Amino acid sequence: MTKTLRIVGQALPIILLMLIGELFAGSIFGRMRHLLAATPGLIVLVPALLALRGNINTALASRLSTAVHMGLVPPDVPWDHEIRTNLLSSILLGLLMGTVAGLFAHALSVTVGAESAGMLLLGSIGGGVGLLSGIAMAPVTTKTVSIAFKRGIDPDNVVGPILLTLGDILTIVLLFVVAALLTGVGP
Amino acid sequence: MVGAVLGSRVATGLHTGNLLSDHALEFRRDIAATILIGAATFATLAVVAVAGAHLMGTTGATLLGGLLLVIAGTGLLLIVGMIAVVIIIGAISFRIGWDPDNVVVPVVTTSGDLLGVTSFILMVQWVGL
Protein backbone atom coordinates (compact mmCIF):
# COMPACT_ATOMS: atom_id res chain seq x y z
CA MET A 1 0.00 0.00 0.00
CA THR A 2 2.81 2.45 0.82
CA LYS A 3 4.41 1.89 -2.56
CA THR A 4 1.08 2.56 -4.24
CA LEU A 5 0.68 5.74 -2.20
CA ARG A 6 4.16 6.82 -3.18
CA ILE A 7 3.16 6.62 -6.84
CA VAL A 8 0.02 8.62 -6.08
CA GLY A 9 2.00 11.11 -3.97
CA GLN A 10 4.39 11.83 -6.83
CA ALA A 11 1.95 11.83 -9.71
CA LEU A 12 -1.21 13.44 -8.31
CA PRO A 13 0.14 16.89 -7.31
CA ILE A 14 1.85 17.25 -10.68
CA ILE A 15 -1.31 16.21 -12.54
CA LEU A 16 -3.46 18.70 -10.62
CA LEU A 17 -0.90 21.44 -11.28
CA MET A 18 -0.76 20.55 -14.96
CA LEU A 19 -4.56 20.79 -15.21
CA ILE A 20 -4.09 24.52 -14.57
CA GLY A 21 -1.55 24.61 -17.39
CA GLU A 22 -4.02 22.91 -19.72
CA LEU A 23 -6.69 25.45 -18.80
CA PHE A 24 -4.16 28.16 -19.69
CA ALA A 25 -3.59 26.53 -23.09
CA GLY A 26 -7.36 26.42 -23.51
CA SER A 27 -7.66 30.13 -22.76
CA ILE A 28 -5.13 30.97 -25.48
CA PHE A 29 -7.00 28.70 -27.84
CA GLY A 30 -10.17 30.57 -26.97
CA ARG A 31 -8.62 33.78 -28.27
CA MET A 32 -7.95 32.30 -31.69
CA ARG A 33 -11.55 32.31 -32.80
CA HIS A 34 -11.14 34.80 -35.65
CA LEU A 35 -8.04 33.06 -36.96
CA LEU A 36 -9.74 29.65 -36.76
CA ALA A 37 -12.84 30.94 -38.53
CA ALA A 38 -10.76 32.52 -41.28
CA THR A 39 -8.78 29.33 -41.87
CA PRO A 40 -11.21 26.48 -42.57
CA GLY A 41 -9.78 23.10 -41.70
CA LEU A 42 -7.36 24.56 -39.16
CA ILE A 43 -9.46 23.58 -36.19
CA VAL A 44 -9.47 19.99 -37.47
CA LEU A 45 -5.69 20.08 -37.30
CA VAL A 46 -5.51 21.17 -33.66
CA PRO A 47 -6.17 17.92 -31.75
CA ALA A 48 -3.87 16.06 -34.14
CA LEU A 49 -0.98 18.48 -33.58
CA LEU A 50 -1.51 18.41 -29.80
CA ALA A 51 -1.61 14.62 -29.76
CA LEU A 52 1.41 14.44 -32.08
CA ARG A 53 3.58 16.63 -29.87
CA GLY A 54 2.45 14.73 -26.78
CA ASN A 55 3.06 11.31 -28.32
CA ILE A 56 6.52 12.07 -29.67
CA ASN A 57 7.81 13.57 -26.47
CA THR A 58 6.28 11.13 -24.01
CA ALA A 59 7.55 8.21 -26.10
CA LEU A 60 11.02 9.82 -26.07
CA ALA A 61 10.81 10.41 -22.32
CA SER A 62 9.59 6.86 -21.79
CA ARG A 63 12.60 5.52 -23.74
CA LEU A 64 15.01 7.75 -21.84
CA SER A 65 13.48 6.79 -18.52
CA THR A 66 13.75 3.08 -19.30
CA ALA A 67 17.36 3.56 -20.44
CA VAL A 68 18.32 5.31 -17.20
CA HIS A 69 16.42 2.74 -15.11
CA MET A 70 18.40 0.00 -16.83
CA GLY A 71 21.70 1.81 -16.39
CA LEU A 72 22.26 2.37 -20.12
CA VAL A 73 22.19 6.15 -19.85
CA PRO A 74 23.49 8.24 -16.93
CA PRO A 75 20.83 10.10 -14.89
CA ASP A 76 21.94 13.51 -16.10
CA VAL A 77 21.09 12.40 -19.68
CA PRO A 78 24.03 14.04 -21.45
CA TRP A 79 23.60 14.82 -25.13
CA ASP A 80 25.97 12.19 -26.46
CA HIS A 81 25.80 10.81 -30.01
CA GLU A 82 23.05 8.30 -29.21
CA ILE A 83 20.84 10.81 -27.45
CA ARG A 84 21.37 13.40 -30.17
CA THR A 85 20.36 10.85 -32.81
CA ASN A 86 17.23 10.10 -30.82
CA LEU A 87 16.41 13.81 -30.53
CA LEU A 88 17.04 14.49 -34.19
CA SER A 89 14.77 11.65 -35.28
CA SER A 90 12.05 12.95 -32.95
CA ILE A 91 12.34 16.42 -34.48
CA LEU A 92 12.21 15.06 -38.04
CA LEU A 93 9.25 12.90 -37.08
CA GLY A 94 7.47 16.02 -35.82
CA LEU A 95 8.13 17.85 -39.09
CA LEU A 96 7.01 14.92 -41.23
CA MET A 97 3.92 13.93 -39.26
CA GLY A 98 2.91 17.56 -38.73
CA THR A 99 2.88 18.06 -42.49
CA VAL A 100 0.98 14.80 -42.98
CA ALA A 101 -1.54 15.90 -40.35
CA GLY A 102 -2.08 19.16 -42.26
CA LEU A 103 -2.63 17.26 -45.49
CA PHE A 104 -5.03 14.86 -43.74
CA ALA A 105 -6.95 17.80 -42.25
CA HIS A 106 -7.36 19.19 -45.76
CA ALA A 107 -8.39 15.81 -47.23
CA LEU A 108 -10.84 15.14 -44.40
CA SER A 109 -12.46 18.56 -44.75
CA VAL A 110 -12.85 18.13 -48.49
CA THR A 111 -14.22 14.60 -48.08
CA VAL A 112 -17.01 15.66 -45.75
CA GLY A 113 -17.81 18.56 -48.00
CA ALA A 114 -16.54 21.28 -45.70
CA GLU A 115 -14.36 24.19 -46.75
CA SER A 116 -10.60 23.89 -46.57
CA ALA A 117 -7.92 26.53 -46.51
CA GLY A 118 -5.96 24.34 -48.87
CA MET A 119 -3.33 21.59 -48.88
CA LEU A 120 -0.39 23.97 -49.05
CA LEU A 121 -1.47 26.20 -46.20
CA LEU A 122 -2.60 23.45 -43.83
CA GLY A 123 0.41 21.29 -44.66
CA SER A 124 2.77 24.20 -44.03
CA ILE A 125 1.12 25.13 -40.75
CA GLY A 126 1.22 21.52 -39.60
CA GLY A 127 4.83 21.03 -40.65
CA GLY A 128 5.95 24.38 -39.22
CA VAL A 129 4.32 23.78 -35.84
CA GLY A 130 5.56 20.16 -35.77
CA LEU A 131 9.14 21.21 -36.49
CA LEU A 132 9.36 24.22 -34.17
CA SER A 133 7.63 22.52 -31.24
CA GLY A 134 9.98 19.57 -31.68
CA ILE A 135 13.08 21.75 -31.53
CA ALA A 136 11.83 23.59 -28.46
CA MET A 137 10.70 20.46 -26.61
CA ALA A 138 13.88 18.42 -27.17
CA PRO A 139 15.92 20.00 -24.35
CA VAL A 140 12.80 20.22 -22.16
CA THR A 141 12.29 16.48 -22.51
CA THR A 142 15.83 15.43 -21.57
CA LYS A 143 15.98 18.03 -18.78
CA THR A 144 12.68 16.93 -17.24
CA VAL A 145 13.77 13.28 -17.17
CA SER A 146 17.14 14.08 -15.61
CA ILE A 147 15.71 16.48 -13.00
CA ALA A 148 13.18 13.82 -11.94
CA PHE A 149 15.92 11.23 -11.49
CA LYS A 150 18.14 13.68 -9.59
CA ARG A 151 15.32 14.46 -7.15
CA GLY A 152 14.71 10.78 -6.55
CA ILE A 153 11.32 10.90 -8.26
CA ASP A 154 10.36 8.09 -10.62
CA PRO A 155 10.16 9.86 -14.00
CA ASP A 156 7.34 7.55 -15.08
CA ASN A 157 5.12 9.24 -12.49
CA VAL A 158 5.68 12.87 -13.42
CA VAL A 159 7.37 13.34 -16.80
CA GLY A 160 4.32 12.37 -18.89
CA PRO A 161 1.93 14.99 -17.49
CA ILE A 162 4.61 17.71 -17.50
CA LEU A 163 5.62 17.12 -21.12
CA LEU A 164 2.02 16.76 -22.28
CA THR A 165 1.01 20.07 -20.70
CA LEU A 166 4.11 22.06 -21.73
CA GLY A 167 3.79 20.56 -25.21
CA ASP A 168 0.12 21.57 -25.41
CA ILE A 169 0.82 25.15 -24.32
CA LEU A 170 3.75 25.41 -26.74
CA THR A 171 1.81 23.86 -29.63
CA ILE A 172 -1.16 26.21 -29.17
CA VAL A 173 1.12 29.27 -29.01
CA LEU A 174 3.12 28.16 -32.06
CA LEU A 175 -0.09 27.35 -33.91
CA PHE A 176 -1.27 30.88 -33.24
CA VAL A 177 2.01 32.41 -34.42
CA VAL A 178 2.61 30.18 -37.46
CA ALA A 179 -0.99 30.31 -38.67
CA ALA A 180 -1.17 34.09 -38.19
CA LEU A 181 2.10 34.55 -40.08
CA LEU A 182 1.14 32.27 -42.97
CA THR A 183 -2.42 33.53 -43.36
CA GLY A 184 -1.87 37.16 -42.48
CA VAL A 185 -4.92 36.95 -40.22
CA GLY A 186 -4.82 38.23 -36.66
CA PRO A 187 -6.58 36.80 -33.59
CA MET B 1 -2.25 12.47 -18.20
CA VAL B 2 -3.27 9.57 -15.98
CA GLY B 3 -2.86 7.35 -19.01
CA ALA B 4 0.65 8.72 -19.54
CA VAL B 5 1.64 7.77 -15.99
CA LEU B 6 0.14 4.28 -16.24
CA GLY B 7 1.48 3.67 -19.73
CA SER B 8 4.96 4.87 -18.84
CA ARG B 9 5.11 2.70 -15.72
CA VAL B 10 3.84 -0.37 -17.59
CA ALA B 11 6.35 0.15 -20.41
CA THR B 12 9.22 0.38 -17.93
CA GLY B 13 7.86 -2.63 -16.06
CA LEU B 14 7.74 -4.70 -19.25
CA HIS B 15 11.36 -3.77 -20.01
CA THR B 16 12.71 -4.57 -16.56
CA GLY B 17 10.63 -7.73 -16.35
CA ASN B 18 9.24 -6.64 -12.97
CA LEU B 19 5.70 -5.96 -14.09
CA LEU B 20 4.26 -9.45 -13.95
CA SER B 21 6.52 -11.12 -11.40
CA ASP B 22 5.17 -12.06 -7.99
CA HIS B 23 1.55 -12.50 -9.16
CA ALA B 24 1.81 -9.24 -11.13
CA LEU B 25 2.42 -7.26 -7.93
CA GLU B 26 3.87 -4.23 -9.68
CA PHE B 27 1.05 -4.18 -12.22
CA ARG B 28 -1.58 -4.38 -9.50
CA ARG B 29 0.15 -1.49 -7.74
CA ASP B 30 0.10 0.54 -10.94
CA ILE B 31 -3.61 -0.14 -11.43
CA ALA B 32 -4.41 0.75 -7.82
CA ALA B 33 -2.44 3.99 -8.17
CA THR B 34 -4.24 4.77 -11.45
CA ILE B 35 -7.64 4.30 -9.83
CA LEU B 36 -6.69 6.51 -6.85
CA ILE B 37 -5.20 9.23 -9.06
CA GLY B 38 -8.18 9.07 -11.42
CA ALA B 39 -10.66 9.32 -8.55
CA ALA B 40 -8.82 12.27 -7.01
CA THR B 41 -8.49 14.07 -10.34
CA PHE B 42 -12.16 13.70 -11.23
CA ALA B 43 -13.20 14.68 -7.71
CA THR B 44 -11.17 17.87 -8.18
CA LEU B 45 -12.78 18.46 -11.57
CA ALA B 46 -16.19 17.97 -9.98
CA VAL B 47 -15.43 20.57 -7.29
CA VAL B 48 -14.15 23.04 -9.90
CA ALA B 49 -17.19 22.41 -12.11
CA VAL B 50 -19.68 22.92 -9.27
CA ALA B 51 -17.82 26.05 -8.10
CA GLY B 52 -17.85 27.34 -11.66
CA ALA B 53 -21.56 26.61 -11.99
CA HIS B 54 -22.25 28.54 -8.77
CA LEU B 55 -20.19 31.46 -10.03
CA MET B 56 -22.24 31.52 -13.20
CA GLY B 57 -25.47 31.43 -11.25
CA THR B 58 -26.48 27.88 -12.14
CA THR B 59 -27.52 26.38 -8.84
CA GLY B 60 -30.47 24.12 -9.52
CA ALA B 61 -30.07 20.90 -7.52
CA THR B 62 -31.00 18.63 -10.42
CA LEU B 63 -28.58 20.44 -12.70
CA LEU B 64 -25.71 20.17 -10.23
CA GLY B 65 -26.56 16.54 -9.53
CA GLY B 66 -26.59 15.85 -13.23
CA LEU B 67 -23.23 17.58 -13.64
CA LEU B 68 -21.69 15.46 -10.88
CA LEU B 69 -23.16 12.31 -12.38
CA VAL B 70 -21.72 13.16 -15.79
CA ILE B 71 -18.26 13.80 -14.33
CA ALA B 72 -18.33 10.66 -12.18
CA GLY B 73 -19.60 8.50 -15.03
CA THR B 74 -17.06 9.89 -17.51
CA GLY B 75 -14.27 9.33 -15.01
CA LEU B 76 -15.32 5.76 -14.38
CA LEU B 77 -15.65 4.86 -18.07
CA LEU B 78 -12.37 6.58 -18.86
CA ILE B 79 -10.30 4.91 -16.12
CA VAL B 80 -11.70 1.45 -16.85
CA GLY B 81 -11.23 1.98 -20.60
CA MET B 82 -7.64 3.14 -20.25
CA ILE B 83 -6.69 0.21 -18.02
CA ALA B 84 -8.17 -2.12 -20.63
CA VAL B 85 -6.22 -0.38 -23.41
CA VAL B 86 -2.95 -0.61 -21.44
CA ILE B 87 -3.42 -4.33 -20.88
CA ILE B 88 -4.23 -4.98 -24.54
CA ILE B 89 -1.56 -2.76 -26.08
CA GLY B 90 1.08 -3.84 -23.55
CA ALA B 91 0.48 -7.49 -24.35
CA ILE B 92 0.38 -6.95 -28.12
CA SER B 93 3.51 -4.83 -28.34
CA PHE B 94 5.44 -7.27 -26.17
CA ARG B 95 4.36 -10.25 -28.29
CA ILE B 96 5.10 -8.54 -31.60
CA GLY B 97 8.46 -7.35 -30.32
CA TRP B 98 7.85 -3.60 -30.50
CA ASP B 99 9.41 -1.39 -27.88
CA PRO B 100 6.57 -0.71 -25.42
CA ASP B 101 8.07 2.74 -24.70
CA ASN B 102 7.24 3.82 -28.23
CA VAL B 103 3.80 2.29 -28.41
CA VAL B 104 2.05 2.13 -25.05
CA VAL B 105 2.02 5.79 -23.97
CA PRO B 106 0.94 7.26 -27.36
CA VAL B 107 -1.81 4.66 -27.84
CA VAL B 108 -3.09 5.00 -24.27
CA THR B 109 -3.11 8.82 -24.26
CA THR B 110 -4.76 9.12 -27.68
CA SER B 111 -7.32 6.41 -26.82
CA GLY B 112 -7.87 8.31 -23.59
CA ASP B 113 -8.68 11.46 -25.57
CA LEU B 114 -11.18 9.58 -27.75
CA LEU B 115 -12.65 7.62 -24.84
CA GLY B 116 -12.93 10.79 -22.77
CA VAL B 117 -14.88 12.74 -25.36
CA THR B 118 -17.09 9.74 -26.20
CA SER B 119 -17.78 8.91 -22.55
CA PHE B 120 -18.60 12.54 -21.85
CA ILE B 121 -21.09 12.73 -24.71
CA LEU B 122 -22.65 9.38 -23.73
CA MET B 123 -22.98 10.44 -20.09
CA VAL B 124 -24.49 13.80 -21.00
CA GLN B 125 -27.09 12.09 -23.18
CA TRP B 126 -27.78 9.37 -20.62
CA VAL B 127 -28.16 11.85 -17.77
CA GLY B 128 -30.26 14.05 -20.00
CA LEU B 129 -28.48 17.36 -19.50
- What is the Cα–Cα distance from B124 to B69, expressed in whole angstroms? 9
* pLDDT score of B74: 93
Share of chain A above pLDDT 70, in %: 99
**Mutation for testing the B interface, residue in A1, A46, A66, A169 having most B CBs under 10 Å:** A66
Nearest to B1 among A8, A15, A66 (CB): A15
Mean pLDDT within B95-101: 89
* pLDDT score of A114: 87
Span A124-170, pLDDT tens digits: 999 999 999 999 999 999 999 999 999 999 888 999 999 999 999 99
pLDDT at A81 over 70: yes
CA distance, residue B31 to nearest chain A CA (Å): 9
- What is the Cα–Cα distance from A39 to B16, expressed in whole angstroms? 47
Q: CA quadruple B87, B89, B92, B97: dihedral positive or negative?
A: negative
Span A4-13, pLDDT tens digits: 999 999 999 9
* ipTM topping 0.90: no
pLDDT at B69 over 80: yes
Span B1-55, pLDDT tens digits: 888 999 988 988 888 888 888 888 889 999 999 999 999 999 998 888 888 888 8
Q: Which chain A residues in 40-59 lie under 8 Å from chain B, judged by CB atoms?
A: 47, 51, 54-55, 58-59
- What is the Cα–Cα distance from A16 to A158, expressed in whole angstroms? 11
* pLDDT score of A49: 95
Burial class (CB within 10 angstroms; exposed 0-12, middle 13-18, buried 19+) of B125: exposed
Residues in chain A within 8 Å Cβ distance of B36: 4-5, 8, 12
- What is the Cα–Cα distance from A52 to B104, expressed in whole angstroms? 14
**Local confidence band at A2 (pLDDT 50, 70, 90 cut-offs):** confident
Higher pLDDT, A45 or B16: A45
Whether B24 has its CB under 8 Å from any CB of chain A: the answer is: no
Nearest to A66 among B4, B101, B109 (CB): B101
Provide CB contacts within 8 A for A84, sequence distance 6+: none
Q: Which residues of A106-125 are buried (b: 16+ CB within 10 A; e: fewer)?
A: beebeeeeeebbbeebbbbb
- What is the Cα–Cα distance from A10 to B29, expressed in whole angstroms? 14
What does pTM read for this prediction?
0.88
